Amino acid sequence: MSNNNTSEIKIQIELDENRIPEKLSWAAVEGGVNLEEAKAFMLSVWNSDEKTTKCIELWTKDMSVEEMKIFFHQTLLSMTETFQRATGDEKMSATMQDFCDYFAEKLELKLK
C-alpha cells in the first residue's frame, strides 16, 4: 500500500538450511533501486520512548573478512558525515574523521 505520503524500503533475505543468509537484496523503488543484491546491511532504529537503539546486522556467508573491514570503514565514514549534518558539531565530526583515518590505517585498508 503506497501513496504520495509514504515511501517503502524492502529487504529480502534468502537463508540456507541452517538459516544463515545466503543472499541479501533490497529495494527502494522511490530511490530507483529494485532488488539490488548486497552482501551486508546494518539497520539502526531509534526508539524515542525507551531512548535506545535497536539494531539488525546481517551479512552473507560468502562475504570476506576484507570486505567486512571495508564495509565497516565506509559505514563509520557515513555515520561521521550524518552526525555532522544532523548536529552541526564540527569539532566532534573532526574527531570522528580522525578515528576513521586511524581505523583504516590500523587495518591497512587499501582505499581508493
DSSP summary character for residue 51:
T
Alpha helix ranges (H) inside the chain: 65-87, 90-106
Planar angle of CA 40, 85, 105, nearest 5 degrees: 55
- Beta-carbon contacts of 12 under 8 Å, excluding residues fewer than 6 positions away, are 24, 25, 26, 27, 35
Q: What string of pLDDT tens digits covers the 112 residues of the chain?
A: 555 788 999 999 999 999 999 999 999 998 999 999 999 999 999 999 999 999 999 999 999 999 999 999 999 999 999 999 999 999 999 999 999 999 999 999 977 6
Is residue 92 within 8 A of residue 83, CB to CB? The reply is yes
Give me the pLDDT at residue 110, please: 78
Give me the pLDDT at residue 112, please: 63
pLDDT tens, position by position, 86-107 = 999 999 999 999 999 999 999 9
C-alpha cell at 5: 505520503
**What's the predicted TM-score (pTM) here?**
0.86
